[in-house]
Amino acid sequence: MTEITLYNTAIRAKEVLKPLDATNVRMYVCGPTVYDRAHIGNARPVIIFDVLFRLLRHVYGENAVTYVRNFTDVDDKINARAAESGRSIGDITAETTQWFLDDMGAVGALEPTQMPRATAYIPQMVAMIETLVADGFAYEKEGHVLFRVRKYEDYGKLSGRSVDDMIAGARVEVAPYKEDPMDFVMWKPSDAATPGWDSPWGRGRPGWHIECSAMAEDLLGSEFDIHGGGNDLTFPHHENEIAQSKCAGHGFANIWMHNEMLQVEGKKMSKSLGNFFTVR
């Protein structure tokens, strides 16, 4: 069989892909937050991991690859868009999700095997958070549940940073409910105008990082082959995913792959900088 060699961010080197199960090669790629049109920088990981998906299907068989790419449909950017437009959150996410699918179809990408929406996996997120609280890796304060970063010894290994260095030069949110500035939010309270779900810590909504840990575990199992995304996600998103999942007792991903950013005049293309061109 053809041997596939991939660059693994986690070890800073190329390694031969050795699937856990050659009849079901499993890959998770972080998908979009759906609140606006996708720009061509958003299309870059779609196209890159589509090429890998096709290669895996070619080598292992069309029905031997499970590719999961999520939609983040609960997020403060979506809430803000709803507030400013007067439209419901559900309407906005339904419309922008379809825009994304249409645009990625237009550039020729195959649809992944599974495309879970974060809001459909709230119970799985709550269950994972409960496990982490019970085992002392997370704590509740003022309706927030936070992960204790210093409890996970390998934190920073993926991105090649030490916790103290991260604090010194960091953009970390200092908040009165944090035991440590580096601790990150897994659950936060919701007010009447914000989407929320019942939980052991009150009505609230998940933080960004927990959703991918919960969905990957539910759809691909405790351990899987490849986790992908843009290199802007290496820290903090993927670093936090690893910490949560490992501390919840999961092996998680074996190979971590990251694509570079699309540049516009030397700067990353992003909605916040306004230097983007939509796929459409």
pLDDT at 34: 93
Does the structure show a pLDDT above 70 at 168?
Answer: no
> Percentage of residues in the chain with pLDDT exceeding 90?
84
Higher-scoring residue by pLDDT: 18, 181: 18
pLDDT at 169: 55
Does the structure show a pLDDT above 80 at 165?
Answer: no
Helix (H, G, I), strand (E, B) or coil at 205: strand
Would you state the structure tokens that stand for residue 230, as one six-digit string? 């843009």
pLDDT at 170: 54
pLDDT at 80: 86
- Tens of pLDDT along 210-246? 999 999 999 999 999 999 999 999 999 999 999 999 9
Helix (H, G, I), strand (E, B) or coil at 19: coil
pLDDT at 82: 86
Across the range 262-271, mean pLDDT stands at 90
Interior CA angle at 238 toward 77 and 196, to 5°? 40
> Percentage of residues in the chain with pLDDT exceeding 70?
98
Across the range 195-215, mean pLDDT stands at 96
Conformation bin of residue 107: beta by default, left when phi > 0, alpha when psi is -120 to 50: alpha
Residue labelled with tokens 């290496």: 234
Distance CA 220, CA 60 (A): 17
The arrangement of strands across the sheet holding 65-69 comes to 65-69, 25-29, 223-230, 252-259
Q: Round the average pLDDT of the chain to a whole number and report it.
A: 94
Across the range 174-195, mean pLDDT stands at 91
Distance CA 163, CA 174 (A): 15
Indicate yes or no: pTM above 0.85: yes
Does the structure show a pLDDT above 90 at 13?
Answer: yes
Domains of the chain, first to last: 5-268 (3.40.50.620)
**Contacting residues for 119 by C-beta, under 8 A, at least 6 apart:** 73, 74, 195
